Chain A
Amino acid sequence: MARTITTKASAVSTRTQDPYTQPAFAVYGSHASSHGSGFICYNHNLEIHSVFTGDSNQSYSRFRTQSGGGAPEFYNHYNNSAYMECHTQPGSGAERCNNTCNTGYLGHQNLVSPTEYSSSAGYIVADDGRHRKAQAFRDVMTIVNEENQDYAIFGHHNGGSGTLFSAGTRSAMRYYGEFSVTGIRRFNIIRTGGANNQGCYGSGCYNVKTKKLAIIEYNSSTGRLTPTVWNNVPDLRSLALNGEAQYSGLTQRSAAYSGETGGPIYQFFQNSANCTVYNTGTHNLNDYSGSDESRYRHQTVLCDNGKIVTFTMTPSNGCVVHRWNADGTYEGEVWNGTWTTSYGFGHGNRFGSRWQVTTSGKYVWAYCPSYYYGAGVYWVCIRVSDGKFIKFQSNDSTNGRASAPIGMNSMIWTYTENSDGPGLYYKIWELDYYLAILNDNQTVSLDDNYSAYILDCPTNTTNYPTIVPAMYDTSMFHNNTIPRTIK
């Protein structure tokens, strides 16, 4: 008897999906030449999402991580390279996979993030590839109060002309291709401060709620910072994700428009009437450190109340936090963490400070190593609503720290201790809670009371794992009914 295929209307037109079942981060461990390598991805409930692990000699039907014998190209070609191995802690090493500066808003510099649609828990990039990704990690600016964290904005030092601005998908790989290779999707935001002011790298913040964009300028003569706030800025998410947005207001014509100077968005950022210039700070960053990192990169948070907080790594000094009041006056240097030798992006784009944001978009944490290239940490977390912050410092010359957003307002904090037995050491910090119960500028002990024996690591010997932040759909946490309307 022939079957009849009927097409009935769906009984349920919408359904809800639990946003916590999306990937949050993957644990990466590697001792590729003898004890395997791979990724174990966990969701926001710390349940398993996916696993992708290889064995050194392809036993047990797993892929080969040791060179030769059919290993994938990167594992074959770069085998035993420090950048892809976790068989040692960061220490003073520059190229360690578990360096504190390797994770950020764009994931992990040396590894590829899982997404909500991934069937794999992660993968590696080639040695050259991580250097290419690192440019985006240096340039990426903060985005706050954003429900849809599927895009990124970038700022590139453009000398006395200002800041070369770019918006695109949340992808370090695509930024490299679009910004550096083809040179598209970018334009200059004018300098608004005084003479000798210069644009910086990754030193800005887009506050979606207040529709404002802060840009930080550095004065090459005085070493001081001046924030500029652009008001009523065009929708930067639309600019990032709709490729034609920069030109959408122009009449289509046969004659070419200039690549970097056309369109209403470009015009908006050439008009100083659209911005408010805050007072110049009084602290000379050159006094702490003469490095490019301390001069040209300032992790920035533009708060809902108009306050601005910057976190700057000051290599071989430590870090400084500056804050401006809502009326544009300079509150001052509110923290200077210090210890010993450290290096920023002057020694390579892959080094220096990084930032991440909670799924809610309401808490930003910025951080950098405190020892050489990737060990120890200086860390601050800033509440976007009002600029209150808490801080942490660890004078650790051995271990790196890696973090990722988890849940709505939390951060998972991990530590590169030996996973042989206990697996990954981690702790989840509910940032909304801690920013409520602690005082402004209070120290929190992030290294306390780690959990272990729960999150496995895909190797079977001494290993010092790191994590890879996942690229999940943050909007699901804000509206978890599907189908959803894409804005």
Chain B
Amino acid sequence: MAFLIFTYTPDGGKLNSVTPYDDIPYGFENQDNAAGVEYNYNPEVEFISALVLSEDRKTVTNKYPGKTVEEQKELWQQEIDQEEFSHDLNISVGIIKAQVRSLIEKLRFAELRAKELDAINQNTDNQTILARWRSAVRDANNSHEQLLLSSVTTKEELDQFNLNWSTKFLSENPVPEFD
């Protein structure tokens, strides 16, 4: 008989790990993010990470019944890879978006100068130039984000995908400057 410890994220939600021990590890106690149960674990028949605990934290079941250990391991790995891919994709979207702010920051002085010149000239020509440039930044961001989400479906593709769109944008669309 083994003693299995299931650990969860601190809010008690997502299962983080399942680890078998010969006996109850010193210091262990059941809490929101950790539950221990005795279980007749046989590594020849079950892959440890294929095991899950019922909501009442009393019953252990195998997520992949009828599968060999190797098959269980493969199915589990596919699940983990998919979760990780979704997380990384989300982070990548954030990295793409962050470049918008970085570019728009560059307009701080230009905005002041554009308003000043437009006030003198009694028009909005320079502010319109800036508005168009800002709009182009957002369009470029959206298009790169869409490209990522529509073309990348695997971790390998994500690793190869260049998240940096702003360098090329800047070389083709220099920050507007006013004399």
Contact = CB atoms under 8 A, between A and B. Distances in A.
A422 B11 CA distance: 11
A66 B26 contact: no
B26 A80 contact: no
A399 B19 CA distance: 14
Contact of A88 (B22, B31, B87): B87
Contact of A444 (B9, B25, B73, B95): B25
Interface stretch (A193-201, A219-227, A245-253, A447-455): A447-455
Nearest to B81: A92
A339 B49 CA distance: 9
B27 A396 contact: no
Contacts of A160: none
Contact of B101 (A57, A341, A418): A57
Contacts of A449: 27, 29, 31
Contacts, number: 105
B26 A395 contact: no
Interface string B101-118: 110011000000000000
Given A57-B101, A57-B105, A395-B49, A34 B94 contact: yes
B34 interface: yes
Interface of B: 5, 7, 9-10, 16-19, 21-23, 25-29, 31, 34, 43, 48-49, 73, 77, 80-81, 84, 87-88, 91, 94-95, 97-99, 101-102, 105-106, 163-164
Contact of B16 (A66, A80, A399): A399
Nearest to A452: B10
Given A69-B105, A422-B10, A449-B29, A443 B22 contact: yes
Contacts of B88: 88
Prevailing SS type, chain A contact patch: loop
B163 A80 contact: yes
Q: Report which residue of A398, A418, A449 has the largest number of chain B beta carbons within 10 angstroms of its beta carbon.
A: A398
Interface of A: 33-34, 56-57, 66-69, 80, 87-89, 91-93, 338-341, 376, 390, 392-399, 417-418, 422, 425, 434, 437-438, 442-445, 447-450, 452
Kindly name the residue among B27, B31, B81 whose own CB sees the greatest number of chain A CB atoms within 10 A: B27
Contacts of B17: 376, 394-398
**Chain B contact surface mostly:** mixed
Contact of A87 (B29, B48, B84, B91): B91
Nearest to A80: B95
B80 A34 contact: no
Given A394-B17, A397-B49, A422-B10, A34 B98 contact: yes
Given A393-B19, A417-B10, A445-B5, A56 B98 contact: yes
Closest 4 CB pairs of A and B: A445-B25, A396-B17, A445-B28, A33-B98
Contacts of A57: 101-102, 105
B10 A91 contact: no
- Taking each of B7, B34, B81, which has the highest tally of chain A beta carbons within 10 Å of its own beta carbon? B7
B85 to A, nearest CB: 10
Nearest to A396: B17
A323 B3 CA distance: 26
